[in-house]
Amino acid sequence: MEFRDRHVMVTGGTGALGIAVVGALLQAGAQCHVPYFHPAEAERFPFRADARMRLSGPVDLADEAAVRQLYAAVPRLWASIHLAGGFGAAGIAEIDKAALMQQLQMNFLTCFLCCRAAVSALRKSGGGRIVNVAARPALEPRQGAGMSAYAASKAAVAALTAALGEELVKEDILVNAVAPSVLDTPANRKTMPKAKHELWPKVEEVAATILFLASPENRVTRGAIVPVYGRS
């Protein structure tokens, strides 16, 4: 997959999946733009010294003006990959309005605002790609038992993706999403030490799917929510 000299935004790029995505993009020749919220994220980011990396921050992706400014600074945007978000598990009785709104803000609002800003930039570039991250409960709502606010926020991401895939196809802007199950990360292994970790999808494997959807080689897939479950 050829990304040489193509500018790609990766939100959530300092996380476990984000690092795998950015590493693969740099290897493919991309110019990567990664916003961060906490300065510590930038300090420990393994690619911060790469000449083709631009770290921007602190940036609040739930702030409309900040998102608009972030995307305005990117020349000739080719793709925007939205990995930023957060997880919250609680039964319905334990979820108050504040907790619900937090999940919607972290997972749906940030995605919506970044999609909106990306579309404006991609129209100036003459087309491109958008890739969002939903989750398995977005496709299989029963999997969202005990985490209904999170499941609903990711279902909103899936619905947005499908709608934009239809809305933007005539402008050569292809919009898709991946829907991971539990990713094989050190944090998830620590949280679930007795799980069958070998069945979980690896971040590098999910990154490969994301790269294809964001690449020029993807000419026909749009509006898809692609399951990336591994063997779990």
Of 36, 71, 150, 229, the catalytic one is: 150
Instruction: Characterize the bridge pairing of strands 31-35 and 53-56.
Output: parallel
* C-alpha 18, offset from chain centre: 8
Residue 150 designated active-site: yes
- Catalytic sites, residue numbers: 150
